[in-house]
A and B are shown apart, each in its own frame.
Chain A
Amino acid sequence: MNPPSIGLLVEITARTLAVCLPALAISLAIGLPIGIAIGGRRFAGRVPLVSLINTGMGAPPVVVGLVVFFALERNGPFGSWSLLYSPVAMVLAQVVIALPLVVGITLAAVGSLDEDWELQVRTLGVPKRWRLWLLVREIRLGLLAAVITALGGILSEVGAVMAVGGNLEGETRVLTTAILMYTQMGELEIALGLAVILVGLMLVLAGLLTAVQQSGRA
């Protein structure tokens, strides 16, 4: 088998980012408010809800992929949308994987604040939107940890995207599924090259986020 061209590598890498970054953005957009809301409140049913989120943080990606597959397949509840084996299906699966990570880490960050933190700020007469800004500022290290963890989970995930994306050349093939495919085909050099690109991508993105996180400690 001929090695993939530079153009193909760029295409696979670009598709990987095109799937992972929207999945990350959606997970953060949904997960951060939910994490902040659950972390700062006491209500009936909170313990089972947090337990469910913690379970979701450790859910096997391949099982998540299977669940999303059943939801999107022709006879599933969302079969009419014809999303299976598309990048959108891969984004959905990755959101399901990343969301519990974002919610869980965010609510832990909020929960680590002093019990009276919100009340102390409220008694200073700080308006609600500024209190939210202060809260985000206060837990920003925890939030960045949530972003890094979610990014790592999404970028390195293979089971779910394989199940709902199918690793179709030119359509749903991303770095992880391509690595798996070339490994199974015995094209270990190509698989290794793709793995280097994947790890490099993770290093650059996580490195940038870590730099931002650690600058907050100064």
Chain B
Amino acid sequence: MSEATLLSVSDLCVELHSRRGSFRLTADELELNAREALVILGPNGSGKSTLVRTLAGLERPTAGRVESAATGPVTMVFQSPAPLAGSVAHNVRVAFLGKKLSGSERRARVTEALERFKIDHLAEHRAATLSGGELRRLALSRAFALRPAVLLLDEPFAGLDADGQAALSLDLRRAISDTGVAVAMVTHDLRRAMLLSDRIAVLIDGKLVQVGRRDDVLERPSTLEIARVVGMTNLVQGVVGEDRRGDLAVVEVDERHRVATPTAFTAGTRVWIGIRPEHLKLDIGRGEVDPIGKGIVREIVNDGVSVSVGVDWAGSELRTHLMAGRGLARTLELGAQVSLSANPEHVHLIPIRSTSQMA
């Protein structure tokens, strides 16, 4: 464990048994470092909550170790925070029970914590009367009032509407930045993960399958399943060809659809070509850089903020996002032919290792 590491997991195995069945979580190695935000992503039932509860000491490992070098408190905010009887301020003060703090220090910390999450005006309200969003703010206020060294968050935005999620994630981001607390957060919301994370860990079927810096995991998922979890939704099969364009290999989907990208895979390797929606560019002109071919617009979904466009390309649907009300988003129509392009650095190849990975 390095000096900066506050929590570390090695060769972890957690087995849970209940009437609903058994579950097994394994993680070879995972570290949470000082002043970093680690987001744990994965499909439902992949073991995200089990992992974070194990980090909190609430689940006992069957094998392996969870080590803590944190000098301050390690605390956790649950997916469904339960209010305690009494006022909002009392709910925050509970965190100080059994701790040696002066009355003025307690009051100052309560006020600071409630202000941090913008619920100071509710201090004397009964906690049981709070809305779902206010309850989450209360749980976060209470956790931050402890001035923790490590904060573990289990789906802190679950059940909130889009506006509530956006507002809370900004406040949480500011609180994390102001305090320098190390955070491990479970979520299945990619937008929040991208906003808050320094590093990302991905769990699939109870196994920790990839950990790395945020952009590395988002842009370089190591398997097809991980690609789907991290939002690399544009996935098309191809074969690494013999042709090269300088340092770039050309991956052939069919005779008219080719993608250039730097790769170490040898010619003939069957691969999934992955391009994140935000890295796929649309143009109706001809002067685009890094073209990958033409496609037909099949779907346009405008939510007032962004426009999601589905394009038929080489028999697969690729998706990209445009800013609503601007440029191409104002004129694009269903059935239009568009040119697609992607920076070769943003094209990721995943080798197809078995027939089960083929579409």
**Chain A residues with CB under 8 A of B143:** 124
Known: A130-B98, A134-B94, A134-B97. A123 touches B84 (CB 8 A): no
Indicate whether A169 reaches chain B with its CB closer than 8 angstroms.
no
**Contact of B97 with A119 in the complex, beta carbons under 8 Å:** no
Is A74 on the interface with B (CB-CB < 8 A)? Answer: no
Encode B119-154 as 1/0 by CB contact (under 8 A) with A: 000000000000000000000001100100000100
Contact, CB under 8 Å: B80 / A116: yes
C-alpha gap A114/B99 in the complex (Å)? 25
- In terms of DSSP, what is the predominant structure of the interface of chain B? loop
A125 touches B82 (CB 8 A): no
Judging by beta carbons under 8 Å apart, are B98 and A126 in contact? yes
Bound CA–CA A55/B75 (angstroms): 41
Interface size class of A (residues with CB under 8 A): 20 to 34
A120 in contact (CB, < 8 A): yes
Interface residue A127 (Cβ < 8 Å from any Cβ of B): yes
> A120 contacts which chain B residues (CB < 8 A)?
76, 78, 81-82
A113 to B143 CA separation, bound complex (whole angstroms): 20
Give the most central of B58, B74, B76, B82: most A CB within 10 Å: B82
A140 to B94, CA, bound (A): 17
Q: Which of A113, A125, A134 has the most CB of B within 10 A?
A: A125
Q: Could you tell me if B84 and A138 are in contact, using CB atoms closer than 8 angstroms?
A: yes
Contacts of A133 in B (CB 8 A): 97
Q: Within 8 Å of chain B (Cβ to Cβ): is A46?
A: no
A25 to B252, CA, bound (A): 84
Known: A126-B94, A127-B98. A137 touches B85 (CB 8 A): yes
Q: Name the distance in Å between B132's Cβ and chain A's nearest Cβ.
A: 14
**Which residue of A has the minimal Cβ distance to B73?**
A125
Q: B194 on the interface (CB 8 Å rule)? A: no
Smallest CB separation, B11 vs chain A (Å):
24
* B-chain residues with CB within 8 Å of residue A114 when the two chains form the complex: 80, 82
Complex alpha-carbon distance, A174 and B211, angstroms: 75
The CA of A100 and the CA of B326, in the complex, are separated in Å by: 71
Q: Could you tell me if A130 and B84 are in contact, using CB atoms closer than 8 angstroms?
A: no
Residues of the B chain whose Cβ atoms lie less than 8 Å from the Cβ of A127: 97-98
Picked from A116, A119, A121, A129, the residue with its CB within 8 Å of the CB of B94 is A121
Q: How far is the CB of A122 from chain B (nearest CB, A)?
A: 8
Contacts of A125 in B (CB 8 A): 73, 75, 95, 98-99, 146
With contacts A134-B84, A137-B85, A138-B84 taken as known, whether A116 is within 8 angstroms of B78 at the C-beta atoms is yes
Are the CB atoms of B58 and A119 closer together than 8 Å?
yes
Cα distance A125–B72 in the bound complex, in angstroms: 11
Q: Are A126 and B97 in contact (CB under 8 A)?
A: yes
Least Cβ distance of A135 to chain B in Å? 10
Which residues of A from 157 to 189 have beta carbons under 8 Å from B?
none
- B56 part of interface (Cβ distance < 8 Å): yes
- Shortest CB-to-CB span from B18 to chain A, Å, is 9
> Which of B81, B86, B97 lies in contact with A130, CB distance below 8 A?
B97
Known contacts A130-B97, A134-B94: A123-B82 contact under CB 8 Å: no
Which residues of chain A are within 8 angstroms of B142 by Cβ–Cβ distance? 124
How long is the Cα–Cα vector from A42 to B53 in the complex, in angstroms? 18
Cβ 8 A contact of A124, one of B58, B85, B95, B152: B95
> What's the minimum C-beta distance from A134 to chain B, rounded to whole angstroms?
7
Which residues of chain B are near A137, meaning CB under 8 Å? 84-86
Q: How far does the Cβ of A42 sit from chain B's closest Cβ, in whole Å?
A: 9
Enumerate chain A residues within 8 angstroms of B82, measured Cβ to Cβ.
113-114, 116-117, 120
- B83 to A, closest residue via Cβ: A114
Chain A residues whose CB sits within 8 angstroms of the CB of B98 once the complex forms? 125-127, 129-130
**With A and B bound together, what is the CA distance between A140 and B85 in angstroms?**
10
State how many angstroms separate the Cβ of A154 from the closest Cβ of chain B.
28
Sample of 12 A–B contacts (CB below 8 Å): A114-B80, A116-B80, A116-B82, A121-B84, A122-B58, A123-B56, A123-B74, A124-B94, A124-B143, A125-B75, A126-B95, A138-B85
- Residues of B whose CB lies within 8 Å of any CB of A are 56, 58, 73-76, 78, 80-82, 84-86, 94-95, 97-99, 142-143, 146, 152
Known pairs A123-B75, A127-B97, A138-B84 / 16 extra A-B pairs, C-beta < 8 Å: A113-B82, A114-B82, A116-B78, A116-B80, A123-B58, A123-B74, A123-B152, A124-B75, A124-B95, A124-B97, A124-B142, A124-B143, A125-B75, A127-B98, A134-B84, A137-B84
